[in-house]
Amino acid sequence: MSGLRPWSVAWADASREFWGTQEPGDHFSTSAGPQVAGRLAALVHDVDRRLDRADRLTIVDLGAGDGSLLAAIADECPDLAARAHWIAVDLRGISREGVESMVAMLPAELPGAPFDGVVMAHEWLDEIPCEVVERDPDGTDRLVLVDAHGEEMLGPELSDDAACAALGVDAAAARAWLVRWWPLHEPGDRAEIGSGRDAAWTWMTGLVRRGVALATDYGHVAGERLDEHRWGTLAAYRAGRIVRPVPDGSVGITAHVAVDACQASVPGTRVTRQRDELPRRPLREGARAADIEAHFGGLALRDRAGKGSFAWMQWERGLAP
């Protein structure tokens, strides 16, 4: 095998290539539909009220894709048209009426920050690259290396600072995160080091002067990691299917977010689940086709085993009660 690199490095390069040309909707189903847009519009209105109808209200969508979610939220807020400033940030420019496009590889400095309003990221944190670590047959935690074809090999011991540093990995920081948030116990156990996501959430909250930061994503907490996620959550998507994660730019690579670690990185972060955030739509006799569709769509978005388990991380600063 040649061209072996830590997963974080290979993943970062692959993501830049993939998202430089692809749209999310072409590869996987997200929950960023009308019901989520409606719930987020309610959040925008609440923040506006608690800012005492500020002269300028800014709503920023990080990793906005084609900008459809942000546009849908704006459509739900026609009363804010004169004061709201809608900003979509992504690797590529977005052309939507009423939406300002910023092109950036995130995290990055954003013009105008910090903002008064809402800074949100829907299914973005899970795509921030992680180091992947595995416990070998002798009980030693090792860095996992990967080539462009997705073939893996166990690399240096995580206790070997110099060998890991030669690959661009801060082994001491990785060990500290692993011990606190995802300790490995048995040979074959794997973990994704989520310190980059913790830093990204900290950066997100720093974009808010007065208002709310919100990140929504597939996530797990300690008990889940030590049970159903013992072998990690690294995955990839292409054309609507889960496929083998190959860091060649042809697939979208992802891993669930260690929500409790992100929460601890920013005091005051509140975590809920999507099933508890979205309103229930009762199905009444004689309901129209649109109501029936919304009802069953809501059930899917609140499914405890699926999108209903999405974590909603919220943090606020400078808002009136």
Among 167, 158, 227, smallest CA distance to 193 is for 158
What is the layout of strands, in order, in the sheet containing 235-238? 241-243, 235-238, 252-254
What proportion of the chain, given as a percentage, has pLDDT over 70? 87
Residue 291 has pLDDT above 50, yes or no: no
Give the single-character DSSP code of 154. E
Among 95, 109, 18, 29, smallest CA distance to 64 is for 95
- Residue recorded with tokens 């929500």: 259
The mean-pLDDT minimum among 17-26, 128-137, 249-258 falls in: 17-26
CB 205 within 8 A of CB 216: no
Among 14, 38, 111, 107, smallest CA distance to 6 is for 14
Residue 238 has pLDDT above 60, yes or no: yes
The mean-pLDDT minimum among 34-43, 54-63, 107-116, 165-174 falls in: 34-43
Residues 6+ apart with CB under 8 A from 226: 183, 185
**pLDDT per residue over 120-147, tens digit each?**
999 999 999 999 999 999 999 999 999 9
Mean pLDDT on 247-251: 95
Q: In terms of pLDDT, which residue wins out, 310 or 133?
A: 133
**pLDDT per residue over 50-84, tens digit each?**
999 999 999 999 999 889 999 999 999 999 999 99
CA 134, 139, 142, 148: dihedral to nearest 10 degrees? -50
Q: Report the predicted TM-score, pTM, of the whole model to 2 decimal places.
A: 0.89
State whether the Cα torsion 286-36-118-20 is positive or negative: negative
For the chain, list the strands marked E by DSSP: 5-6, 57-62, 84-90, 99-103, 115-122, 131-135, 141-146, 152-157, 190-193, 208-217, 219-220, 235-238, 241-243, 252-254, 257-258, 270-273, 311-317
Distance CA 90, CA 297 (A): 27
User: What pLDDT is attached to residue 287?
Assistant: 41
For 136-276, list the strands marked E by DSSP: 141-146, 152-157, 190-193, 208-217, 219-220, 235-238, 241-243, 252-254, 257-258, 270-273
User: What pLDDT is attached to residue 24?
Assistant: 66
User: What pLDDT is attached to residue 20?
Assistant: 83
Q: What structural domains does the chain harbor?
A: 29-126+195-222+242-316 (3.40.50.12710)
- Residue recorded with tokens 């990185």: 265
User: What pLDDT is attached to residue 27?
Assistant: 45
Distance CA 8, CA 14 (A): 10
Distance CA 185, CA 300 (A): 35
**pLDDT per residue over 75-104, tens digit each?**
999 999 999 999 999 998 999 999 999 999
Which range of 257-266, 272-281, 292-301 scores highest in mean pLDDT? It is: 257-266
Please state, rounded to an integer, the average pLDDT across all residues of the chain. 89
Distance CA 185, CA 168 (A): 26
Confidence band for 278, pLDDT divided at 50, 70 and 90:
confident
Q: In terms of pLDDT, which residue wins out, 281 or 295?
A: 281
**pLDDT per residue over 187-224, tens digit each?**
999 999 999 999 999 999 999 999 999 999 999 999 99
User: What pLDDT is attached to residue 129?
Assistant: 97
CB 75 within 8 A of CB 170: no
| Angle, in degrees to the nearest 10, between helices 171-181 and 195-206 | 90
Chain Cα centroid distance, residue 299: 22
Residue 289 has pLDDT above 60, yes or no: no
